[in-house]
Amino acid sequence: MSRVFILRRPVPKKCYEEYAYILDYLPFGYPYYFSTSRTPLRRGPVAQAIGEDYFMLLELEPYKGIQLSLRERVYVGKSISDKIRVRRVVRRLTYDELTATAKAELPAVLEIIVSAKEDYFVEFFNKAEPLTKKMHELELLRGIGKKTLWRILEERKRKPFESFKDLQTRTRIPDPKKIIIERIIEELRGGQKYYLFVVPLAQYG
């Protein structure tokens, strides 16, 4: 099945994250039973994280003597002088390669990211377009059917949405932030035909 990548912002040809949030920190590396062909046993500390811009799942190697905390925001970009806590990004991860702790932390960390980027996600509701004659981008969000879709389109035509609260009040969507987080997790799991927010691993592996 072909994948359609429709992230609503410029994506550089060589895409990477500048900052990421820690989902799990393993001071002694992965346990022996966690090793797979893609997840080899690593000596020394390792962390799993998610990027705040493109939602890339990352394996990180911290500097010696550095202990990372869950939900900590760390620099993972290209500037050597700014790499204070994380030595390097080892590789990208799939959702299935996340530890149980990382999967459990993911919704809470995504809430932090989505809250911080509220303007971007509200703008998505203002700018989302039809995918086909019968399917709209907004319908990829769980709980948005035809009636809610038309309500959103009519309301944004009258006046662009300004916040999650404004969106919730005018469209009666119970929790816009929650349905965005659910969609991001679906895309992280993979196998989607359309990607709204996550840069697929196949796109920038």
The CATH number that applies at residue 42 is 2.40.50.140
pLDDT of residue 1: 45
Decide if 122 is inside a domain.
yes
Decide if 200 is inside a domain.
no
- Boundary of a domain, candidates 45, 79, 103: 103
| Domains: count for the chain | 2
Decide if 147 is inside a domain.
yes
Q: Which residue segment(s) compose the domain that 153 sits in?
A: 118-192
pLDDT of residue 44: 84
pLDDT of residue 187: 95
Neighbours of 96 (CB within 10 A): 11
C-alpha dihedral sign at 38, 40, 43, 47:
positive
The H-or-E segment that residue 4 falls in is strand 4-5
Q: Which residues pair with 46 in a beta bridge?
A: 26
Q: Is residue 136 a contact partner of residue 130, using CB atoms and an 8 Å limit?
A: yes
Question: Same domain, yes or no, for 167 and 81?
Answer: no
The H-or-E segment that residue 47 falls in is strand 46-51
Residue type, 27: P
CATH number at residue 149: 1.10.150.280
Decide if 124 is inside a domain.
yes
Where does 153-196 show beta strands of DSSP type E? 194-195
pLDDT of residue 181: 98
Cα 104 to Cα 115: distance, rounded to the nearest angstrom: 18
Residues in the chain, pLDDT under 50? 1-2
